[in-house]
Amino acid sequence: MGSPRNRAPQATPRTLQDEPLLGALQAARAGRIAEAEVVVREAVARAPQAAAPRHALALVLHLQGSLQEAHDELAQAVEANPTDRAARTLLGRLLYDLERDSEARAVLEPLVEADPSDRVTARQLLTVLMRIADVDAVLALCEPWLLEQPDEPYVLACRAWAIEMQGRVDEAAAIYRSLIERGERACDSWHRLARLHEPLDAEAIARLAEDTDLDDGQRSVASFALGEAHKKDGRYDEAFAAFAQGNALMGIHHDREQHRVLVERTLELASPGLLQRLAAQGDPDEAPIFIVGMPRSGTSLVEQILGAHSGVQQLGERSDIAELARDMSGRVGMPFPDGLLGISRRVARRQARLYKESVGVDPSASRFTDKAPGNWLFLGIIAALFPKARIVHCRRNPLDTIVSNYFTNFGPTRCQSSYDLEDLRWNYENYARAMQHWHEVLPLPILDLDYERLVQEGEPQMRRLVEFAGLEWEEACGRPHESKQRCMTASSHQVSKPIHGGSVAAWRRYEAHLQDLLPLLDLWQDPLAASA
């Protein structure tokens, strides 16, 4: 969602002041990670029950990017020394990096409640709360902090994000501009202003994007802001170049082969027979509506339309289903997707109950929406847990989808295939293949909703959506931009405005840069041409 970045603290915890461990950590932070890993692994081997060596190993593995192994080592360190706040804070950070947000919150929140003066832990908790879009909790943490430290830049930026999500755009913009004037968090602040379509100073942003004294993360954010400034001015080639620089500076490399194997194995296992067996075991609640598709395909708009209905609880963009998939080996003894084979009636009912508790389902609501575009991969799990759920599949021109993703800074942990055009092409092809398979085998109703028809035709498509949800039409559904429900995604500003078709075929402005992607149009039929 592009919320303020939180970088890992560099201070060495007091529990790791042992000279060999301290030297290893200093070597790791100097880039000599392999050397450091040898030292700390030897320390673990000498004292396998001790907390400090495993804590040090987790720090080195975290710097290395081996997040799951770092988590596993640190979990053992915390078990050995549960009073070590620094270890538990790092555990929360690792859970955040692994996108296990509810677990990260559960680790960090008690630490902050026990010691509100621990700003390192409070800062990490703020980052988690923003990603799960708990605006009220963010403000509750920021307000007392700012009473003590009214000029703390990161907390001011977090508060600005929260009130922006509440629709108080002018107040948020004023905070962002004050930070820029002070020379604090200027890259992030320009980026937020750009997403709000506020006036921008392209020259000032360009200086930040080219400032090699800044780290790559800051320059990346500035480059995305510069792209928005050029796009707004109609300088499309310069905009594309700025976005390309922003994506390159992110330094994120998507493992295409690993993802391909995961998708292929999922579709191989998801046979009609298995899915029918699973569907007989889950929670028969008719309330769930899962909104899936590629990011930037209209999922937020669809969620706002349904959320405007008096009988719908809008849960927002949730990671709970993905977390269930990642944790499947602990529940059924096999990792996802093979774990689908081990889901019993007891497991399905229990996981459905835990899911509802985690997302906070209101039992009085006729329907609830879970909008996580990437859940297209996990529709087999959804069918097992909720055999009467409805699936809304948002479709959009593949080149418009890819351009919109490429022009969006989702942050370092989300949508990791969006920072490279070839990764995006690869991901789109996997997604299209999976959705074709689900249409053939999934025992759940799927509504294909085309972004182009939705924004061009308006109410007829909205009525079609509401009817599919099993609800009576309400006039508020035709005015989603007036909805009081909060949208916390990269589309938050767009969905607060009346629906328009200004983004349809926007890819043509950048066609010269997209020649290798043109074959993707063969996977898509223009719904406007088909309905003409």
- Percent of the chain residues topping a pLDDT of 70: 92
Report the CATH architecture of 256-531. 3-Layer(aba) Sandwich (3.40)
**Mean confidence (pLDDT) of the chain:** 89
Number of C-beta neighbours around residue 150 at 10 A: 9
Q: Is 402 exposed, middle or buried (0-12, 13-18, 19+ CB in 10 A)?
A: buried
Question: Is pLDDT at 40 greater than 90 in this prediction?
Answer: no
Compute the average pLDDT of residues 37-55. Answer: 88
The sign of the torsion formed by the CA atoms of 204, 210, 216, 220 equals: positive
- Rounded to whole angstroms, the Cα distance separating 15 from 81 reads 10
Domain ranges of the chain: 1-132, 148-251, 256-531
Written as six digits, the tokens of 125 are 């908790």
Cβ contacts of 264 within 8 Å, gap of 6 or more: none
- Domains 1-132 and 256-531 belong to one CATH topology: no
Question: Is pLDDT at 284 greater than 90 in this prediction?
Answer: yes
Question: Is pLDDT at 6 greater than 50 in this prediction?
Answer: no
pLDDT at residue 100, as a whole number: 85
CATH 1.25.40.10 fits 148-251, yes or no: yes
| Range picked from 86-100, 229-243, 326-340 for highest mean pLDDT | 229-243
Compute the average pLDDT of residues 425-453. Answer: 95
* Higher-confidence position of 381 and 495: 381
Question: Is pLDDT at 142 greater than 80 in this prediction?
Answer: yes
Write down the pTM of the prediction.
0.83
Tell me the pLDDT tens digit for each residue of 189-225.
999 999 899 999 999 999 999 999 999 999 999 999 9
* Higher-confidence position of 412 and 239: 239
Question: Is pLDDT at 493 greater than 60 in this prediction?
Answer: no
* Higher-confidence position of 375 and 47: 375
Cβ contacts of 124 within 8 Å, gap of 6 or more: 6, 89, 92, 93, 96, 108
Which residues in 101-116 are b (16+ Cβ under 10 Å) and which e? bebbbebbbebbeeee
- Percent of the chain residues topping a pLDDT of 90: 66
Q: CA-based angle 409:446:102, to the nearest 5?
A: 45
**What amino acid occupies position 328?**
M
- Rounded to whole angstroms, the Cα distance separating 218 from 479 reads 37
Tell me the pLDDT tens digit for each residue of 57-100.
888 888 888 888 999 999 998 999 998 898 999 999 999 988 88
Which CATH entry fits the domain spanning 1-132: 3.40.50.720, 3.40.50.20, 3.30.70.790, 1.25.40.10? 1.25.40.10
Residue 491 — pLDDT band, cuts 50, 70, 90?
Answer: very low
